[in-house]
Amino acid sequence: MMSTYLDISEFTKVYPSPRGDVHALESVNLGIEEGQFVSILGPSGCGKSTLLKCVAGLESGTCGQIRFDGEVLDGPPNGLGMVFQRDLLVDWRTVLENVMITAEFLELDESIARKEALRLLELFGLKGFEHHHPWELSGGMRQRAAICRALVGNPRLLLMDEPFGALDAMTRDELNIELQHIWLQSQKTLLFVTHSIQEAVFLSDRVIVMSRNPARVIEDMTIDLPRPRTLSTRGSTQFGEYVIELQALFKRVGIFKGE
Ligand SMILES: Nc1ncnc2c1ncn2[C@@H]1O[C@H](COP(=O)(O)OP(=O)(O)OP(=O)(O)O)[C@@H](O)[C@H]1O
C-alpha cells in the first residue's frame, strides 16, 4: 500500500519555559500527497513556524511522529529546501555565490549547479544581477534570490515560511505567479505558511487552518480552481467564495474580530 508522502501524526510540541510550558502544537494530524501545494493559515503564535521547523527536522516533537517518504523523521530529511520570511542572504557574497551556498552544502557538481543557478536566476528575473551583492537589490529581488538558493539543489519538498510577508502587494502578486509557474513545472511538494487568506487560496491545492490554544488543525479545505491561476482568477466568483468561507471560519473561531 502507498503511504502518504508527508505524514504528520498525533504530533505535539511543547516548549518548556520558566513561565510555564508552551503547547505550540497539540495532536496535529496532517497528510500531504506528493506534488501537492498546501498552505497553512492561522493566527499569530498558533504554531505554524514550529510545524515547519519540525517537518524540516530542525526541532523534534514531544509526542507523535512525522514520516517523510516512508521514513520516520529524526533530523533534516534529504531533498529539503527552505525559504524564510527574512531572505538570510549573505551580504559579502554575490547573488550567484549566495545561490551556490546550497550547492556547496550539498556538495553538488560545481559546473552543473552553476548552470542550474544561472537558469533559475534568469527564470526569476535576476539575469544581469548575478554579480551584484544583496544590498544592491530590492526586497522582492532578494527574496527571488533566496528562492533560487532553495531550489538549486532540486528539493523534493519545499518549505516556505511567510516568504512574501515583507513585500509590497504588487511584488507579492508577481512572486505568487512565479512560484506557481515553477511549481507547475516541477511538481514539488510545497508546504507554505502565510497570513494571507487570498494568497493561500490563490496558490494552494489545500488550505489548512490552525487554531490557537490548543494549536490544532481545524479546517482542511480543497481549493478546486483551474490552473494556471492568473491575476484574473482573483476576480472570479469561485475565488471570492473560498475567501469568504475562510473569513467566516476565522470570525467563528475568533481569529478575525472585524465585520
Ligand atoms: N524556541 C522557542 N522556545 C519557547 N517557545 C517558543 C519557541 N519558538 C516558538 N515558541 C512559542 O510557540 C508558540 C508558537 O510559535 P510559532 O512561531 O510556531 O507561531 P506562528 O504561528 O508561526 O506565529 P507567527 O504567525 O506570529 O509567525 C508561540 O507561543 C511561541 O512563543
Q: List, for residues 179-217, the tens digit of each pLDDT value.
A: 999 999 888 999 999 999 999 999 999 999 999 877 899
Atom 14 of ligand 1 has which residue's CA nearest to it?
Answer: 47
Indicate the top mutation candidate among 11, 48, 54, 212 to test ligand 1's pocket, ranked by most ligand atoms within 8 A of CB.
48
User: Has this prediction a pTM greater than 0.90?
Assistant: yes
- Joined together, the cell numbers standing for residue 207 give 488550505
Alpha carbon 30 to its chain's center: 15
* Mean pLDDT value across residues 69-95: 90
Residue 193 CA: which ligand 1 atom is closest?
Answer: 22
Kindly list the structural domains of the chain, giving each domain's residue range(s) and its CATH number in brackets, ordered by start: 32-59+75-79+157-259 (3.40.50.300), 85-155 (no CATH)
Task: Return the closest-CA partner of residue 100 out of 57, 122, 79, 109.
Answer: 109
21 lines ligand 1 (CB under 6 A): no
Tell me: the pLDDT tens digits for 59-80?
Answer: 999 999 999 999 999 888 888 9
CA of 193 to the centre of ligand 1 (A): 13
CA of 49 to the centre of ligand 1 (A): 7
- Report, in this order, helix, strand and coil percent for the chain, each rounded to 5: 35, 25, 40
Amino acid of residue 51: L
CA of 25 to the centre of ligand 1 (A): 10
- The β-bridge partners of 22 are 15
17 lines ligand 1 (CB under 6 A): yes
Tell me: the pLDDT tens digits for 101-139?
Answer: 999 988 899 999 999 999 999 988 899 999 999 999 998
45 lines ligand 1 (CB under 6 A): yes
Checking if the pLDDT of 1 tops 80, the result is no
**Range with top average pLDDT, 107-111, 149-153, 223-227:** 223-227
d(CA 135, CA 17): 37
Q: How confident is the model at residue 253 (pLDDT cuts 50, 70, 90)?
A: confident
Task: Return the closest-CA partner of residue 210 out of 253, 176, 239, 175.
Answer: 253
Alpha carbon 74 to its chain's center: 20
18 lines ligand 1 (CB under 6 A): no
- The β-bridge partners of 68 are 6, 71
